[in-house]
């Protein structure tokens, strides 16, 4: 983890005092009875607190290393509603800054991405280095005569920037735990996507951006563990691609929900089930061809997850689908609206032809015109919109599916539950949400999940893999 503040761009603005937690939070959910208040989807007061207590404190996805290969490469993205510039430094590190000028607040850059030696504000022409420092301005001597110290007026830095196996994250809270600790044992599962063969991953194309009129938590819940909907919602689209009916499996001894720190992954062990929905057998062949290497590096179990029927969310709003390889952030834009950013993620070492097949497959299934995305978008919008009625919004929702399915003796890390058709990950997501919404700072966030794999185990596994790769 690296601190993003440098001498040139130290934050001069005092953080606002945190607002008091909302008094009614405990009444919004009852984990024992599997109840959730619809208020979490429509209340603008809750949404404003989410911006502060969830998004301004959590590690949020900023970009992939492959998007910023050279010094001066930058991209712009959002950390919830805060627009930020993410830029590769001369020393190879990455820094991030609010994309707003500290003079009169104009937006600094309007590009999605590019390469530059400096950023220049359109309004009065202040110029900033890629390290965020204020370099110069028209009429500089007048500012100096006013007693202004340039060092205090750089771009406002994102407090922490760190990466995990190619994924760059930022955190606005200097008091937040490290990214390693935030991800914890969930890294064991992330490696299924990020570290199949030791060569890393890359994004191809994107972001594809679209607007969906839904609350950000609706799709987040969907991807954290809702295979249940796929058996019904996506049945006709799946038939069109697979050429026959999908036989629903509601009780499956070889499928799981796992979660840790509010992140969740549901999965089957069928190796290529998700990939099969792309309708391209070359992709399945590729996955089978690398499975032995994955088994050698990550073990038999994880080698069966590489393209299986599965979905995952990193708390709070980063989701992906192994197999279809869509990778996405649900950017909140108010209680009833999101901007969805998606990319296709592939193994860097995959043949070019396979990468292109994956890009097309992801467009066919999970893009604004994708057959599964259209199914989902309609559900997301109506699940949000129908909560607006005065009487409707007072009715609770059920999220108790799979109570009693925990497998505390499992060898797998994290909290493990049997059966993919489950709502265990929904409940874990909302427990984390509630913990953060109630806490005044990170010190007050209860530690519910201790790591079952310790740091040494992760480091040892990494070192062993490096040694194997080198051999
Ligand atoms: S607002 Fe940016 S230079 Fe004035
Ligand atoms: Fe879906």
Residue of 99, 126, 138 to mutate, ligand 1, most atoms within 8 A of C-beta: 126
Q: Are 271 and 255 in contact (CB under 8 A)?
A: no
Residues 6+ apart with CB under 8 A from 327: 203, 319, 320, 342, 343, 344, 345
Least confident of 140-154, 212-226, 315-329, 453-467: 453-467
pTM of the entire predicted model: 0.94
Q: How far is CA 314 from CA 80, 208, 409, in A?
A: 15, 20, 24
What is the phi/psi pair of residue 326, to 5°? -80, 140
Q: How far is CA 393 from CA 36, 335, 383, in A?
A: 11, 14, 11
Alpha helices in 253-395 (DSSP H): 273-276, 281-298, 300-303, 352-365, 371-385
pLDDT of the residue at 256: 96
pLDDT band at residue 4 under the 50/70/90 scheme: very low
Residue of 103, 120, 136, 154 to mutate, ligand 1, most atoms within 8 A of C-beta: 103
Catalytic residues: 124, 226, 229, 234, 376
Residues less than 5 Å from ion ligand 2, measured at CB: 376
Q: What structural domains does the chain harbor?
A: 59-175 (2.102.10.10), 185-465 (3.90.380.10)
Query: Ligand 1 centre and the CA of 60: distance in Å?
Result: 28
Residue nearest to atom 1 of ligand 1 (CA): 104
Phi-psi region of 26 (alpha: psi -120 to 50; beta: other; left: phi over 0): alpha
pLDDT of the residue at 40: 97
Residue 99 β-bridge partners: none
Query: Ligand 2 centre and the CA of 300: distance in Å?
Result: 27
Query: Ligand 1 centre and the CA of 121: distance in Å?
Result: 6
Rg of the chain taking only CA atoms, in angstroms? 23
**Which atom of ligand 1 is closest in space to residue 101's alpha carbon?**
2
**Which atom of ligand 1 is closest in space to residue 137's alpha carbon?**
3
User: What is the per-residue pLDDT across 335-355, written as a single tens digit (0 to 9) for each?
Assistant: 999 999 999 999 999 999 999
What mean pLDDT is predicted for residues 182-205?
A: 96
Query: Ligand 1 centre and the CA of 152: distance in Å?
Result: 15
For residue 9, pLDDT beyond 60? no
Pocket, ligand 1, Cβ cutoff 6 A: 101, 103-104, 106, 121, 123-126
**Which atom of ligand 1 is closest in space to residue 126's alpha carbon?**
3
């Amino acid at each position: 983890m690296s601190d993003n503040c440098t001498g040139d761009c130290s934050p001069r603005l005092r953080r606002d005092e945190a607002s008091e937690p909302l008094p009614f939070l405990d009444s919004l959910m009852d984990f024992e009875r599997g109840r959730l208040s619809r208020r979490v989807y429509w209340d603008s007061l809750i949404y404003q607190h989410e911006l502060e207590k969830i998004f301004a404190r959590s590690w949020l996805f900023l970009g992939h290393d492959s998007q910023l290969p050279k010094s001066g490469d930058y991209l712009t993205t959002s950390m919830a509603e805060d627009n930020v510039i993410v830029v590769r430094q001369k020393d190879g590190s990455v820094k991030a800054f609010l994309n707003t000028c500290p003079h009169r607040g104009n937006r600094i850059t309007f590009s999605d991405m590019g390469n530059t030696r400096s950023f220049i504000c359109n309004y009065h022409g202040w110029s900033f280095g890629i390290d965020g420092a204020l370099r110069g301005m028209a009429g500089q001597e007048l500012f100096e005569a006013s007693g202004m110290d340039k060092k205090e007026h750089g771009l406002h830095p994102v407090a922490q920037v760190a990466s995990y196996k190619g994924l760059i994250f930022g955190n606005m809270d200097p008091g937040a735990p490290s990214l390693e600790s935030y991800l914890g044992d969930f890294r064991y599962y992330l490696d299924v996507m990020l570290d199949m063969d030791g060569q890393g991953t890359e994004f191809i194309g994107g972001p594809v951006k679209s607007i969906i009129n839904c609350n950000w938590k609706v799709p987040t819940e969907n991807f954290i563990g809702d295979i249940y909907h796929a058996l019904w919602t996506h049945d006709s689209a799946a038939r069109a691609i697979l050429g026959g009916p999908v036989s629903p499996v509601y009780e499956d001894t070889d499928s799981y929900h796992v979660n840790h720190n509010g992140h969740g992954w549901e999965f089957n062990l069928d190796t290529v089930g998700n990939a099969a929905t792309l309708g391209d057998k070359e992709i399945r062949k590729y996955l089978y061809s690398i499975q032995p290497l994955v088994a050698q590096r990550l073990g038999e179990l994880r080698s069966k997850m590489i393209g299986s029927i599965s979905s995952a969310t990193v708390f709070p709003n980063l989701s992906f689908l192994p197999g279809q390889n869509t990778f996405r952030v649900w950017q909140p834009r108010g209680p009833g609206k999101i901007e969805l950013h998606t990319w296709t993620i592939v193994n860097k070492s995959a043949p070019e032809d396979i990468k292109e097949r994956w890009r097309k497959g992801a467009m066919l299934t999970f893009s604004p015109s994708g057959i599964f995305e259209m199914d989902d978008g309609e559900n997301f919008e109506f699940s949000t919109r129908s909560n607006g009625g005065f009487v409707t919004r007072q009715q609770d929702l059920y999220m108790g599916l799979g109570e009693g399915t925990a497998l505390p003796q499992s060898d797998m890390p994290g909290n493990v539950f049997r059966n993919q058709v489950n709502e265990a990950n929904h409940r874990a997501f909302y427990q984390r949400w509630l913990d953060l919404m109630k806490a005044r700072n990170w010190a007050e966030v209860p530690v519910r999940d201790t790591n079952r794999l310790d740091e040494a185990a992760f480091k040892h596994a990494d070192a062993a893999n490096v040694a194997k790769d080198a051999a």
